[in-house]
Chain A
Amino acid sequence: MIKHLFKLVWNRKRSNLLLMLEIFFSFIVLVAVMTLAAYYQDNYGRPLGFVYENVWNIGIDMNTATDDVWSAEMVSTTRQLFLALQDFPEIESACGALSTPYGLGSRQSVNEFKGRRVEMEVNEVTDTFLQTLNLQLLAGRWFDQTDDASNWKPVVINQRLSRELFGHDDPIGRPFEPWSSQEEEVRVIGVISDFRRDGEFVGPGNYLFERKRLDDPRNRPPANLLIKVRPGASAAFEERLAARLEAVAREWSFEIQPLTHKREVAMKLRLVPVILLGLIAAFLMIMVGLGLVGILWQNVTQRTKEIGLRRAKGATAAAIHKQILGETLVLTSLGVVLGVILVVQFPLLDLISTVSVKVYAQGVLLALLVLYGLTLAASLYPSWLATKVRPAQALHYE
């Protein structure tokens, strides 16, 4: 039966070639869109690693020249800012950070580790960062005042980075090897769970925290403050806060934004292009489906004679149905096989790195499902038409 179907498709290879080509391109488009959807879906289900509710971000523009003379003054102003924040009963805790959740800027670092390249995002944060954002500490400890006296540099890493660097070994207290070439020794003091700074839709990455001290004149003060406010803090409070900050640091500018707002903006920025792409792909598929209906319909009317002959020789309506659907399936499969051959090359040649093979496979499977559904649905009406062919009429046809 299947061999017979292949033969039928092969006999009309010229016109079927174009159909196959169309199915092939549809498949490629579907794989791209479905992989993206699977990737977002996969990321959305993972833990975020921090709590953004009731946390506000205060971006600081220091408006100051980056000459050597800045440090002492800037450091003391920053400390005064923190003192000012303590006067507000609405603020539960406050911390400073180089980059903040849902923010745009970040510091990336690539290091050589046992011949492998290890990428990570580096953030410099103050001691209260853990409690302000509710990070999950899995092992070891977070930064505290005891680190002031140590003659090595403490870092906290996330679980993913720990696995990548130390496997299943306990990382606490170990020298941080990728950076050992630096003059100062670096040691891991703690491990946190995931920390996905860029939000729900971005895949998990490696993360490393350095300690930022507010009294260290060698360090540039943090460009962002994060405050955890008690629920129900109002715009009036925000205005008082802004006025107070501006009074402390007259030459600086501040931008206060709840993280919920930053989150909304960041999500929109990522979702809008995906929704647009999805819509365009959906329309393309509708078009392909309708086109397919038209072509198959045409095929059926053209083959009235052949179908009529089969009916005359005793084929049932179901058999005709089967034949038309079967031919469509064979045709789709031929186009899909070409597509799969191409699509499998991407992970094999390591051309995709952000999406895991599992998610990619999910995307491909989804694409297959949608494509077969589409072609089958498109052939239902023409195949029903074919069953309506009456042998006597068909044999007269010409």
Chain B
Amino acid sequence: MLKNYLKIAIKVLLRRKFFTFISLFGVSFTLVVLMVASALLDHAFGPLPPEVRTDRTLGIYTVRMELTNSFERTGAAPYWFLDRYVRTLATPARVSLYSTQRSVAAYVADEKHSLFLKRTDGEFWNILDFEFLEGGPFTAADEREANFVAVINRATAELFFKGQPAVGKTIAVDGQRFRVVGVVPNIPIFRVTSFADVWVPLSTAKSNGYLRDATGDFLALLLARTPGDLPKIKEELQTALARVEFPNAREYSRIITAAETLFESVARGMFGRDRDARNYAGYLLGLLLALAVLFMLLPAINLINLNVSRILERASEIGVRKAFGASSWTLVGQFVVENVLLTLIGGAFGFVAALFLLNALTDSGLIQYAHFQMNYRIFLYGLTAALFFGLFSGVYPAWKMSRLHPVDALRGQSL
């Protein structure tokens, strides 16, 4: 029976080509936008190398420090806090501390280039799975002994050494000289945890002021032994927060933060404004879904309208089928199948267009080092959206049509 429905559907689609074109255009355009949007989100939050163990990693991205009723500061964490209260947590298998990336100058052949520099410890390279094109990471010992060594990305290696091997050579950035020990692929700028052009040991900072600084710009990365340990880590951190002693209690006396994924951190910043440690990820997900549905509303109404007109044309066919005893439900089923088929064809066009668009976006260099790819997650989002779209816009016209009286239908009456 389904096969029959599909055959009829194809015939109908070919009969009124203009209508088919408009419907396909609407469906594929809508899906392109949704798929590109989800590709962008996936690019920022999904598990991409080197952050592949997202099911076992948490981070400390923003902390809020308050002095009751007066000062407050929201931003990256100070070093003393992460060193004393996060590094000492018992549950995580590994803890890494690193700085936010800072733009620094490098002069190559009288030309100035801005590079992003990130300072990390040795553990950073054990938690993240960087692929090394050349050499390897620096170690905890390098960090302890303040060795001036650096890992650089492919673009920086290209900039300084023009395709020659980079390992063992020296680069000058931010007025300091580092020996290159490893080269990694370019990391897109969205990945705030791993992104940088140059990574160097924390201890090579120009001054060791960061060790004493009451504020600071450091982040932590925590790797759990099993995914089941994540809630325990979150809890342990909250307990630890209660006994934080401030180096300068006149400036700040309370600290609020949470061990969370980047998505949870963004959600907490948006909905909780970092004022508490609750998990707001559900709200953000809800908001994104609501936006997607809102965006689909106009194309869906358009498609419903088209479908109503299209079905009117087939009133006599409906009349005949009803007269021969087809139930309303059979007819609804048939029309929904037709509509879903239409949206799936539109979805396939949209999928191809999204592929092209993402490639073009990657090539345009609009977002530094971004490499947008279609993957099975985005494909699944797109497919879900297409099905939802097809059902949503197919059910109402089908239901309306199924209520047509056979006699009226046979005479070609309007609805």
Contacts and interface: CB of A to CB of B under 8 A. Distances in A.
Nearest to B26: A287
Interface stretch (A47-55, A109-117, A220-228, A294-302): A294-302
Given A253-B174, A280-B33, A295 B305 contact: yes
Interface in B45-103: 102-103
B302 A291 contact: yes
B174 A287 contact: no
Contacts of B114: 255, 257
A395 to B, nearest CB: 15
B22 A284 contact: no
B25 A287 contact: yes
Contact of A295 (B103, B306, B366, B415): B306
A99 to B, nearest CB: 16
B266 interface: no
B359 to A, nearest CB: 17
Contacts of A83: none
A266 to B, nearest CB: 15
Interface string A213-232: 00000000000000000000
B288 interface: no
Residue from the set B103, B206, B215, B412 with the largest chain A CB neighbour count within 10 Å = B206
Contacts, number: 117
Contacts of B209: 63-65, 251
A29 B22 contact: no
A326 B87 CA distance: 73
B18 A294 contact: yes
B29 interface: yes
Given A14-B415, A63-B205, A398-B412, A239 B305 contact: no
Interface stretch (A19-27, A157-165, A187-195): A19-27
B145 interface: no
Interface in A292-329: 293-295, 297-299, 302
The range of chain B's interface size is 35 or more
B213 interface: yes
Interface centre among B22, B102, B114 (most CB of A within 10 A): B22
A235 interface: yes
Interface string A265-284: 00000001000000010011
Contacts of B366: 272
Interface stretch (B308-316, B318-326, B331-339): B308-316
A193 B107 CA distance: 39
B210 to A, nearest CB: 7
Q: Which of A19, A251, A290 has the most CB of B within 10 A?
A: A290
B175 interface: yes
B14 interface: no
23 contacts: A18-B301, A19-B305, A22-B302, A25-B298, A25-B301, A29-B298, A63-B210, A65-B210, A65-B212, A66-B213, A66-B215, A235-B107, A246-B175, A255-B104, A280-B33, A284-B298, A284-B299, A287-B25, A291-B26, A293-B22, A294-B306, A294-B309, A302-B414
Interface of B: 18-19, 22, 25-26, 29, 33, 102-105, 107, 110-112, 114, 174-175, 205-207, 209-210, 212-215, 248, 251, 297-299, 301-306, 308-310, 312-313, 366, 412, 414-415
